Amino acid sequence: MIRVDLHVHTTYSPDASINPKTIVDQLYAHPSIKALAITDHNTVEGYYKVQELASAYPDILIIPGAEISTTDGDIIVLGTTALPAEPRTVKNVIDYAKEKGALTIAAHPYRAYGLGDLTRKYNVDAIEVLNGASPPDVNKLAENLAKEMHLPGVAGSDAHQPTDLWTVYTEVQASLRVDEILEAIKQGFVRVGSTRLLTDF
């Protein structure tokens, strides 16, 4: 069993300020979270930079990914560095991800830029039920949606600045390998957890 943060932004997102080196240093030093997905907005440049730095360290893992803006809301795609072509409709992004063997997650469905109730129309692989940048009631709606759709619920900090890191994590029944982690998520061998107190919101 490992702990993974499935939603992290770097300076390669226009609205984020986390340096790739900070991510790698803190991940390596973290007592329990040993893997994370780089999910910059519509780019994998940040992933490449973080991965380049991380390759010097043992026992940590960086999952390639991106948070893709679609016409109806954000979708996280994990496990590929190939970005879908325009127009990025929800259907195009999901079809493309499946073609690449990648995993799709409805990011913070009930927050701004989330898919909301439209998520029901699409066959995403998982729902982000614990987003570190969303209040508890908004996460609760996402959790209810995952239950209703019988989909795995995952967690990601959605960190945009260094102090946002390591707030929440997904426990995955897998070893420290990208393919195993993605497969375990698809199978629902996951549990979400938070390192924060509710009063931190």
Where do contacts with Zn ion occur on this chain (CB under 5 A)? Answer: 67, 158
Q: How far is the CB of 180 from Zn ion (least distance, A)?
A: 24
Q: How far is the CB of 127 from Zn ion (least distance, A)?
A: 14
Q: How far is the CB of 54 from Zn ion (least distance, A)?
A: 20
Tell me how far apart the 2 most distant CA atoms of the chain are, in Å.
43
Q: What 8-state DSSP symbol labels residue 163?
A: G
Which residues have a Cβ under 8 Å from the Cβ of 3 and sit 6 or more positions away? 32, 33, 34, 35, 169, 170, 171, 172, 193
Q: How far is the CB of 58 from Zn ion (least distance, A)?
A: 28
Closest CB to Zn ion: residue number: 158
Nearer to Zn ion, 135 or 148 (CB): 135
Nearer to Zn ion, 16 or 31 (CB): 16
Q: Please tell me the total number of residues recorded for the chain in this structure.
A: 201
Nearer to Zn ion, 83 or 176 (CB): 83
Nearer to Zn ion, 67 or 72 (CB): 67
Q: Give the distance, in angstroms, between the CA of residue 116 and the centroid of all CA atoms in the same chain.
A: 17
Sequence letter at residue 45: E
What CA–CA distance (Å, rounded) separates 44 from 34? 20
Nearer to Zn ion, 5 or 125 (CB): 5
Q: How far is the CB of 1 from Zn ion (least distance, A)?
A: 25
Nearest to 70 by CA among 52, 50, 89: 89
* Contact (Cβ atoms closer than 8 angstroms) between residue 128 and residue 109: yes
- Pairing type for strands 153-156 and 126-131 reads parallel
